Amino acid sequence: MEMEIRNRNMVFETLFGYCAVLFRENPFFLVRVLLPSDQKDHFRKMVQKEIWGISGFHSDATAISLTIIDYFAGKFPGTKPPPWDLLDMRHLTPLHQQVLRITSEIPYGQVRSYKEIAQILNRPRAYRFVGSCLAKNPFPIIIPCHRVVRSDLSVGKFGGGSELKKKMIELESKTTSEYMTCKQ
């Protein structure tokens, strides 16, 4: 007997608004992270409009949501790599996955340009491709696409809006400087 794969969603509140993790169970895979919105009802309808099934619980989804809540609370995460084995990346091309892996290595509190990511990818003129891949990043925050900016250091576009991207970069900068001050 084949096990049914169920789509679930978990909506939770952060200091920046409501977020959601969309996941499959049996086995668990994170399918998508939805960035904060301050309109809970609209957000819930948006989640349910997608084909993400019903609200649900899973210990891995809870752990990921707590990481996101901590992130928006400004808690310095240290150097934790994404949980690659829990991310459903089957629908992404190998090159797209490589862009996400490179992006995941940008340290908390730092930024890189689309051009720098393209150079690391050994495709120095592919900065627009990098931007396109990051625009489709299904795991924002977990894979910190908000840390990638334009060469002139302006924030550029972001799925949650440029203002949210700017606030996230500022949060990391503030958290990092406070952390460094406490360590001295």
Catalytic residues: 145
Under 8 Å between Cβ of 14 and 65: no
3-state helix, strand, coil in the chain (%, to 5): 45, 20, 40
Q: Can you say whether the dihedral through the CA atoms of 114, 116, 121, 125 is positive or negative?
A: positive
User: Beta-carbon neighbour count of residue 62 at 10 Å?
Assistant: 13
| Phi–psi pair at 49, nearest 5 degrees | -65, -40
Give the separation between CA 143 and CA 147, rounded to whole angstroms: 9
The DSSP code for 118 is H
